[in-house]
Amino acid sequence: MIRKLLLTVAASAPIFAAQAQISSDTNDQTLNEVVITENRLQLPVTGQNRNVYILDKEQIKTLPVQSVNELLSYVSGVDVRQRGPWGAQTDISIDGGTFEQTIILLNGVKMVDPQTGHNTMNLPVSIGIIERIEVLKGSAARIYGINSLTGAINIVTVKPNRTGIEAQANTGTNFKDNEENPDKIYSSKGIQIAGSYADENQNHLLSGDLQSGSGHRYNTAFKNHKLFYQGNVQLSPRERLSIMAGYIYNNFGANGYYAAPIDKEALEIVQTGIGSVTYSNQVNDRLSISPRINYRYNYDDYRFYRNDLATARNQHYTHVLSPELNANYRTDFGDFGFGAEARFEKINSSNIGDHTRKNVGIYAEFGTEQIKDFQINAGAYVNYNSAFGWQVYPGLDLGYSINSYWNLYVNTGTGQRIPSLTDLYYDTPSNVGNENLEAEKSWYAEGGIKYNNDKVRMNASYFHRSVDDFIDWVRLNEEQPWRSENFLKNTVNGLNMSIDYRSQLNRINLMTGLSYTYLDPVLESKDPESNLSKYAIESLRHQLVAKATLGYEGFNVTLTERFQERINYKSYFITDARVSYHWRSYAIFANASNLFDTEYIEVAATPMPGRWYNLGIKVSL
């Protein structure tokens, strides 16, 4: 009865809230004016003929979360599977796909890790500097290249418009005795500091984030440190230079993360560094070009026995260098987007070996609104991979405007997922790669309807996706090691629905959201006897997300409810709450996660925390 009441309140009690934070260039921009970052054709939310969801800064400020991973759990259709909370280790997938089939981007820069998709969420940004999160669903090779079979998630950071500093401190606990230190309780603490400088020709942002804690059960203690810089310099009225750099150090107890129950003493250390330099030139009124070069380094040190470094230790070093060129040419009858990108990947690993591979992509796209009430976007991505040869991936988006608020849309696209180096070469007693794997190939089609105005966003769509040569880790029985194999086909039919509402009446701010996803996955196997699967049979079936916030004169109250049912896991509800008060340059907040102390897991055999309380204070100058 209580849960039904909470769902009703979250679905009908509207909402919104404000807190002090570093001011950004888009403070006065409405959500419908937000331009989706696709690097070539720049289209606002209302011009997208795809299933696109924006988690904007006003929602982010009110949600009872401590990490980017937790933020994404409030987007229906996004499957967040955490082995550890507080950003320790998380797999992200979309609409029944796997964590290897979704592209994660930071300000349009791909965070693809050639070793494994387990590392793609190693992001050096804290919640306080995020402007918005763009979630684009569907096979998106035409837009983002390979490995975007199920969609893409782009995290966009703040571009400050004034000089300032912001600091936040927080602490949390579940008030339960620590198994390793019985005289203490499980707890966490953290501090975030962000400083900005801005004038009429430049803006800079520097952020540091230190989080640590004793975990929530035996051997789950963690340290998560982040450093991030972003700068934009206007070189001339038509030229801009953008620089981005970041570093993350993540050290966490990995009890039950990968080989439960025998990995009770496991520890993992991950270090990731990123760098990107972009030059943008509006050559004339029609042509703009934007060359960019990106670099990503990752070190993954998995210690099966944290106190014995001589036994069962895996160390992986990966380097990715990626130059790219994006361009746009405007004509009287439409816009052309075109460009090229390359990826040079290298790994040195104790269990995968030493490997290099190259990938080159060329793409072109055309969009027009010159036909009355219709919008058309069409294009193709041509890809060459040194291991898998040439492929072509076309795509088409069509939209019809019924009126200023209602739009119908259909889209179709194709995609490819190159096997990770873990899929191909990993070699341990419990997991064996397969160097004869074929690349996954997908086809996707979707149709839907949208409604947008200043207060309401609504989307309802139905999609079909089929993936040939689907890759999964399988085995005949529990006595055998897992082995990566190509299944015959993985087909998913699904339904996505979401509605968000916000308004302001006198001094009362209101915001509410309700979304639902239904998935019907079907797996056809080349070998029907290989029926034990690591990922495919753990897809979501039902997912419901409800959230609501009420704000009045500095006070804000948020209540959220999430329901998930997986194919082979028991279903569960998770209820979270947040209360905050903002006065001038100060804010205090209290979060309560998993209020009803639900026992649940998101992946493998790793239990998630029960009820957890978190207190914090924020100061903005």
- Give 364's contacts (C-beta < 8 A, 6+ positions apart): 336, 337, 338, 379, 380
The pLDDT, as a whole number, for residue 32 is 56
Other C-beta atoms lying within 10 Å of the C-beta of residue 512: 23
Q: Can you tell me the mean pLDDT for 227-248?
A: 97
Say which range, 17-31, 159-173, 508-522, has the weakest mean pLDDT.
17-31
SS3 content of the chain, % helix, strand, coil (to 5): 5, 60, 35
Mean pLDDT calculated for residue range 86-107: 90
Q: What is the mean pLDDT of the chain?
A: 89
pLDDT at position 246: 98
Between CA 602 and CA 613 the distance in angstroms is 20
pLDDT reported for residue 398: 95
- Segment 223-237 shows an average pLDDT of 97
Q: What is the mean pLDDT of residues 174-193?
A: 93
Tokens of 443: 């086809």
Each residue's pLDDT tens digit, 106-144: 999 999 999 998 899 999 999 999 999 999 998 878 888
What is the DSSP track for 38-65?
Answer: -SSS-EEGGG--S-EEEEEHHHHHHS--
User: Which residue segment(s) compose the domain that 10 sits in?
Assistant: 2-620
Residue 367 CA to residue 330 CA, distance in Å, equals: 10
Asked if residue 39 has pLDDT above 80, the reply is no
Say yes or no to pLDDT of 10 above 50. no
pLDDT computed for residue 502 by the predictor: 93
Average pLDDT estimate for 468-472: 91
Dihedral angle sign, alpha carbons of residues 128, 134, 139, 140 = negative
Count of alpha carbons within 13 angstroms of residue 487, beta-carbon side: 25
- Quote the pLDDT of residue 300: 96
Q: What pLDDT score was predicted for residue 4?
A: 44
Distance linking the first and last C-alpha atoms of the chain: 45
Q: Please, are residues 426 and 433 in contact by the beta-carbon 8 Å criterion?
A: yes
Q: What is the percent of the chain with per-residue pLDDT over 90, rounded to a whole number?
A: 71
Cβ 151 vs Cβ 133: under 8 Å: no
Q: In the predicted model, what is the mean pLDDT of residues 351-359?
A: 95
Helices vs strands, H then E, count in the chain: 5, 35
Asked if residue 599 lies in contact with residue 574, where contact means CB atoms within 8 angstroms, the answer is no
State whether residue 32 is helix, strand or coil.
helix
Mean per-residue pLDDT, 597-612: 88
Coil/strand/helix, residue 116? coil
DSSP 470-495: -EEEEESSTTSPEEEEE-SEEEEEEE
With residue 315 as reference, give the H or E element that holds it.
strand 313-331
Answer for the pair 248, 225: CB distance below 8 angstroms, yes or no.
Answer: yes
Residue 554 has φ and ψ, to the nearest 5°, of: 95, -20
Return the closest-CA partner of residue 536 out of 396, 440, 415. 440
For 426-467, what is each residue's pLDDT tens digit? 988 888 999 999 999 999 999 999 999 989 999 999 999 999
Asked whether the beta carbons of 431 and 421 are under 8 A apart, the reply is no
- CA-closest candidate to residue 3, choices 532, 598, 620: 598
- Partnered with residue 11 across adjacent β-strands are none
Q: Give the pLDDT confidence of 552-582 residue by residue, as tens digits.
A: 989 999 999 999 998 877 899 999 999 999 9
Q: Which of 4-8, 30-34, 418-422, 463-467 has the lowest mean pLDDT?
A: 4-8
Number of compact structural domains in the chain: 1
Query: Are 519 and 544 spatial neighbours (Cβ–Cβ below 8 Å)?
Result: no
pLDDT tens readout for residues 377-430 = 999 999 999 999 999 999 999 999 999 999 999 999 999 999 999 999 998 888
The two three-digit tokens of residue 266, written as one number: 């496991």
Integer angstrom CA distances of residue 337 from 143, 271, 330, 395 = 10, 35, 9, 14
114 vs 88 pLDDT, higher one = 114
Please report which residue ranges of 111-258 form alpha helices under DSSP H: 141-144
Band (13; pLDDT cuts 50, 70, 90): very low
d(CA 160, CA 200): 11
CATH of the domain at 473: 2.40.170.20
Given a cut of 90, is residue 474 above it in pLDDT? no
Mean pLDDT score, 142-148: 86
- The per-residue pLDDT for 488 is 79
Rg of the chain (C-alpha set): 23
Q: What is the pLDDT of residue 139?
A: 81
**Using the 8-state DSSP alphabet, how is residue 381 labeled?**
E
Per residue in 415-429, is it b (16+ CB within 10 Å) or e — as a string?
bbbbbbbbbbbbebe
Distances (CA, A) of 566 to 35, 89, 520, 543: 34, 20, 11, 9
Largest CA distance in the chain: 73
